[in-house]
Amino acid sequence: MEVRYNSTKQAKESEIQDLWSVIGTDNLENNNFLGILGDTDEHKKIIEFLCSVIPNLIDSDIIQLCLLANLIVEYNYLNNQLEKLKEDLQIYIKTMKIKNEVATKIDAISRNYGLTPSTRSKVTPIFKDEEEVE
């Protein structure tokens, strides 16, 4: 039974490695975010951070990465606005509701990429062959 599990796991890892090779990472490596990413320094810093902490990124991840970065910038903006809106309770509550919706979306995408303590253990790093790196 153990042998079958390992061979199934190895086959799955091989298929994932093949998929990685087919899709590629050219756009990510060249910081080509297809016009989806916002054009501020904050966007660039966040996408750089995300690319450095999320393993196994390939070009098909660009849309989700940009969406996550854009949502984080939006969250920060809403946070700053909340400080200014404390005097008007009705607008404050509406803004807080929007901020919570944005936070929920950020959390969902973060979970998909294994960026939370509860999902981190589900991430399986895939390494390129040394021949490809050279």
Q: Is 73 helix (H, G, I), strand (E, B) or coil?
A: helix
The two structure tokens encoding residue 12: 């799955």
pLDDT of residue 94: 95
CA distance 104 to 18: 33
Those residues with Cβ within 8 angstroms of residue 128's Cβ, 6 or more apart along the chain or in another chain: 20
The two structure tokens encoding residue 115: 């960026």
pLDDT of residue 49: 93
Q: Please state which of the ranges 27-31, 67-71, 93-97, 105-109 shows the lowest mean pLDDT.
A: 27-31
CA distance 95 to 4: 54
CA distance 112 to 97: 23
Residues 90-126: pLDDT tens digits? 999 999 999 999 999 999 999 888 887 777 777 666 5
Give domain limits for the chain.
25-133
pTM of the shown model: 0.72
- CA-CA distances (angstroms) from residue 10 to 13, 14, 17, 99? 5, 6, 10, 43
